[in-house]
Structure 1
Amino acid sequence: MMRFFLDCLLLLPLLLVFSLESLLKLFIPKKRKSVTGEIVLITGAGHGIGRQTAYEFAKLKTKLVLWDINKHGIEETAAECRRLGAKTHTYVVDCSKREDIYTSAKKVKTEVGDVGILINNAGVVYTSDLFATEDPQIEKTFEVNVLAHFWTTKAFLPAMMSNNHGHIVTVASAAGHIAVPYLMAYCSSKFAAVGFHQTLTEELNAYGKNGIKTSCLCPNFINTGFIKNPSTSLGPTLEPEEVVNKLMKGILTEQKMIFVPSFINLLTVLQRIFPERFLSLLKRKINVQFDAVVGYKDKAQ
């Protein structure tokens, strides 16, 4: 143990150098990489963040592969992407089903090619407490919000590793860092999604595959209609376009963790160092609210 602490002390000069380097980078705009010609696969592309992200990649001369369970929604997205000049392929995929993902992935490889940018965006949310969230809803939350990331990544990562080139994006949430009452299944799944991103990043480093980049998006409430009447004292509900602008900047500058708004990052740090009683008061001031079903009241009667 003593040897470990001595080794850590020897790292302090590097800590100072790297901290100064990070500070300087805040004032030097990072060059955005080119994604022209890349095959970009987006899950949950028929609505909200997935749709807006597809539009932005369409403008960058990429080849798009759009997945969604909603055929009408995905065709609407595809039509606009084609109007923007992107060659676009659509697949109706249920991301809660592993075999559906694997089967669709094989079709993509045969019909389109090797995916270079994978955006795991599909998600579900149920605004209810533990008792009001039905067992199948809990299972589906994890199947779509977490397990689907494993299946898509296992399907498309091997080709990226062969080329040591690619980018895997995990769309998580601020709720993957800060717990919120009446979103137990959702928060738990998003905590898992953040863990997936962080561990995947470390595993790629262990493989020595530094050409494969990873990013994780963690926004506050977004105006997509999935959560009814959301509000906090941190500011207005975010619009999809605002979030996607930050997401695209993060992907193109290879940012690991993308918080929207950025001060969410500060809150994640504060909750690790502040006393619990103070954090409880702080959360009351933040005042997170939305329409939710509370089944505990029925159980208590």
Structure 2
Amino acid sequence: MQKKSFAGEIVLITGSINGMEAALVLWDLDGEGNKETSRLAQKTGATQVFVYHCDCSNREEVCEQADKVRKEVGDVTILINNAGILLGEKFCDVSDADFEKTLRVNFFSQTCKAFLPAMMTCNHGHLVSTASAAGLLEITDYYSASKCAVIGMMGAIDSELYHAGRHGVKATVICPYFINTKLAKGFQTESPRILPVYDAECAASKIMDAIQKEKFYLIMPLTSYFFAIKTKNSPLVSIPAVNPVTCTQL
């Protein structure tokens, strides 16, 4: 299968990923983290890097920064929604504020609406959203619900693009089990061979490959997909457990 090139694309990432030979636009609340990502991106081949401070869960700020990007950089052609939070509390124990925060960061921070119209106009672009295998497995209460919403939204967008005849605009949804970032330090799985915790660089490489091959789903590992089928057919099926900690996915 021929892989598409990132050359000449304008890639906006709400989070961090490396290795794209393209103009990168980075959005994050963490100013220092954004600068570090910029440095690493340039080191690994990015031709231009533009850094913006943006709270992706704030609609007004997203629209404001999106307009700024269009004026200063150009129309975004590849959008990677990468923000996410996991607080690790049980449904009955979570505060209303944390419940709303999880939905706001994991679902309402999806910035597709700010950039999709321009992609549809020129029939060229790619929307990517990082969901989670938890959105398929439904094992961590409200976190799973927030990621399930992302999966449903991306499926609906993909269908809408198809029926609108915008076949040049692609959609990809990433469903990793868990990724070993510094914020996920201490996260453990009881069955690492079946449901491994991925190294961040390995996960980033798989994500880039899925985008270049224009896959709709990237499920890591694929075993989580089969667990999802079994749990939907039989809620008594046992899934290898993880120790919940406060963490943010890749």
TM-score (norm 2): 0.91
Say which structure is richer in strand.
2
Over 3 Å counting, the alpha-carbon distance change for 1:139 and 1:219 in structure 2 is same
* Partner residue in 2 for 1:157: 116
Query: Deviation at 1:43?
Result: 0.4
Q: Secondary structure of the equivalent of 1:91?
A: strand
Equivalences for 1:29-178 in 2 at 5 Å? 30-44=1-15, 51=16, 53=17, 55-57=18-20, 61-86=21-46, 87-149=48-110, 152-178=111-137
Q: CA RMSD in A?
A: 1.7
Of structures 1 and 2, the larger Rg is shown by: 1
Whether the 8 Å CA contact 1:125–1:226 is kept in 2: the answer is: no
Secondary structure of 1:125's partner?
coil
Residue identity matched to 1:35: F
2:168 aligned with 1:211: yes
In structure 1, list runs of 5 or more residues that go unmatched: 1-29, 45-50, 294-301
Q: For residues 19-74 of structure 1, what are the alpha-carbon distances to aligned partners after superposition, in whole Å with 9 as ceiling and x for unaligned?
A: xxxxxxxxxxx211112010000002xxxxxx2x2x121xxx20000011100001
Aligned-partner Cα distance in 1 for 2:134–2:67: 33
Out of 214, 222, 233, the residue aligned to residue 262 of structure 1 is 222
How much has 1:189 moved relative to structure 2? 0.2
Q: Give the superposition deviation at 1:227.
A: 6.7
Distance 1:269 1:291 in 2: 23
Identity within the alignment, %: 38
Number of residue pairs matched? Answer: 242
| Structure 2 residues not aligned, in runs of 5+ | none
Partner of 2:207 in structure 1?
Answer: 247
The CA deviation at 1:262 is 1.9
Establish whether residue 290 from structure 1 lines up as the match of residue 237 from structure 2: no
Structure with the larger helix share: 1
Distance 1:188 1:120 in 2: 17
Deviation at 1:190, TM superposition (A): 0.3
Q: Which residue of 2 aligns with 1:190?
A: 147
Higher relative contact order (CA 8 A, sep 6+): 2
State how far apart, in whole Å, the 1-side matches of 2:43 and 2:96 are.
42
Amino acid paired to 1:164: N
CA distance in 2, matches of 1:189, 1:245: 25
Task: Report the AA paired with residue 39 of structure 1.
Answer: I
